[in-house]
A and B are shown apart, each in its own frame.
Chain A
Amino acid sequence: MPASDEHPDTQWVGEAAGAIVRPYVLTRGRTEPTRGRFDLITLAVAVGPAHAGTGGLDPECQAIVRFCRRPQSVAEIAAHINLPAGTVRVLLSDLLDQGLIATQEPHSETDMHDEKLYKAVLDGLRAL
């Protein structure tokens, strides 16, 4: 069946492929964040005055900013807005570039030699 490719909004993929294609439409085809590595446990939080400057954003980005009023990991954001982690990374890097979120990278493997970390985690687990 020939697709009418003169119209950008024409649905040119089957319904089954929609879930695969759409995440990368959101990122305008990009698969890599503009910077940073954004681990699954990198934390993001919205910064700046509430609701400021999000008007022009895609609904998904607005949803991320809203969800990140409290710090959330990349994995949680992806699960919450129901997009693959790879897509979320790209959107987060855009939001970071726009100064709408701040991020906290997880420990690197060298930080794993900090005794304080283990003690805190053990105390926390025992108190569960």
Chain B
Amino acid sequence: MDSVRSDRDAGRVTLPKAIKILVAGGFGAGKTTLVGSVSEIEPLRTEETLTHQGIGIDDLSGVEGKKTTTVAMDFGRITIGDDYRLYLFGTPGQERFWFLWDELALGALGAVVLADTRRLADCFPSLDYFERRETPFIVAVNCFDGARRYDLDEVRLGLTLHEDIPIVMCDARRRESGKEVLITLVEHAMRMRLGPAPSSR
């Protein structure tokens, strides 16, 4: 009934389809840097009010129902021909609010979890979240100047990452590097969603 919204009598405008990719990771892991290095626009900031059910800590208050939290997000854009637009969102830095991400993760093509080897544990909540939600994701290890270089297998072990999940080194400041990260993610998401072969019922 009201499903046809965009094509009223308005001369049938054709709009590109927008695709969302999330960039997660601990505070200071380089999320906005990565978004900025591949975006065709300067990263923009928007504020989103997210709602979540009050979790049962404040039982004494007797207040049930929804709480809202305002989070700031940085995002960038990559235009893919006339048909698609890719939006990259740096998710909120407060990883303890992972439960807020549902509204952001809905419909996302996938996620990049940025890992900082100096604080590897910071990205655990992101990994847990995307695993549980079955959002395709990869891990990109941001190589900061002066940070100790780790072997990728070491990092994989440290994160107890499943062998199917790609893990790559990157330099979030470099466009080429950011590009490779995104390509790795899209290839992985494609494998996860379409499978290696269309078999088995």
A107 close to chain B: CB less than 8 A: yes
Instruction: From the candidates A43, A76, A113, name the one contacting B193 in the complex (CB within 8 A).
Output: A113
User: When the two chains form their complex, are residues B48 and A128 in contact, meaning their CB atoms are under 8 A apart?
Assistant: no
Interface on A for B, CB 8 Å cutoff? 35-36, 39-43, 45, 47-48, 71, 73, 75-76, 78-80, 84-86, 96, 99, 102-109, 112-113, 115, 117-118, 120-126, 128
Question: Could you say which of B13-21, B116-124, B163-171 contacts chain A?
Answer: B13-21
Q: Contacts A73-B87, A121-B84; is A99 near B107 (CB within 8 Å)?
A: no
Interface size of B by CB at 8 A reads 50
B81 close to chain A: CB less than 8 A: yes
User: When the two chains form their complex, are residues A42 and B44 in contact, meaning their CB atoms are under 8 A apart?
Assistant: no
User: When the two chains form their complex, are residues A71 and B15 in contact, meaning their CB atoms are under 8 A apart?
Assistant: yes
Instruction: Give A41's nearest chain B residue, CB to CB.
Output: B18
What A residues does B45 contact at CB under 8 A? 79
User: When the two chains form their complex, are residues A84 and B175 in contact, meaning their CB atoms are under 8 A apart?
Assistant: no
Interface on B for A, CB 8 Å cutoff? 2, 5-11, 13, 15-20, 38, 44-49, 70, 73, 75, 77-81, 83-87, 89, 104, 106-107, 109, 175, 179, 182-183, 186-187, 189-190, 193-194
Instruction: From the candidates A41, A48, A78, A128, name the one contacting B47 in the complex (CB within 8 A).
Output: A78
What B residues does A42 contact at CB under 8 A? 18
User: When the two chains form their complex, are residues A102 and B187 in contact, meaning their CB atoms are under 8 A apart?
Assistant: no
C-alpha spacing A84/B73, complex, angstroms: 11
C-alpha spacing A42/B15, complex, angstroms: 10
What B residues does A78 contact at CB under 8 A? 46-47
Q: Contacts A75-B46, A84-B48, A102-B6; is A118 near B194 (CB within 8 Å)?
A: yes
User: When the two chains form their complex, are residues A121 and B86 in contact, meaning their CB atoms are under 8 A apart?
Assistant: yes
Which of A36, A102, A122 counts the most B-chain CB atoms under 10 A from its CB? A102
- Number of CB contacts from chain A to chain B under 8 A: 145
Instruction: From the candidates B7, B85, B182, B183, name the one contacting A102 in the complex (CB within 8 A).
Output: B7
Smallest distance from the beta carbon of B35 to chain A beta carbons, Å?
12
What B residues does A84 contact at CB under 8 A? 46-49, 70
C-alpha spacing A126/B86, complex, angstroms: 14
User: When the two chains form their complex, are residues B179 and A117 in contact, meaning their CB atoms are under 8 A apart?
Assistant: no
What B residues does A71 contact at CB under 8 A? 15-16
Q: Please list the 4 inter-chain residue pairs (A to B) with the smallest Cβ-Cβ separation, ordered nearest first.
A: A124-B80, A104-B15, A79-B44, A41-B18
User: When the two chains form their complex, are residues A122 and B187 in contact, meaning their CB atoms are under 8 A apart?
Assistant: yes
User: When the two chains form their complex, are residues B19 and A115 in contact, meaning their CB atoms are under 8 A apart?
Assistant: no
22 pairs, CB–CB < 8 Å, chain A vs chain B = A39-B107, A41-B85, A47-B10, A71-B15, A75-B73, A78-B46, A79-B46, A79-B75, A84-B70, A102-B10, A102-B13, A106-B20, A107-B18, A107-B107, A112-B107, A112-B109, A112-B189, A117-B84, A118-B190, A120-B83, A123-B80, A124-B80
Instruction: Give A108's nearest chain B residue, CB to CB.
Output: B107
User: When the two chains form their complex, are residues B15 and A102 in contact, meaning their CB atoms are under 8 A apart?
Assistant: yes
Instruction: From the candidates B9, B20, B193, name the one contacting A41 in the complex (CB within 8 A).
Output: B20
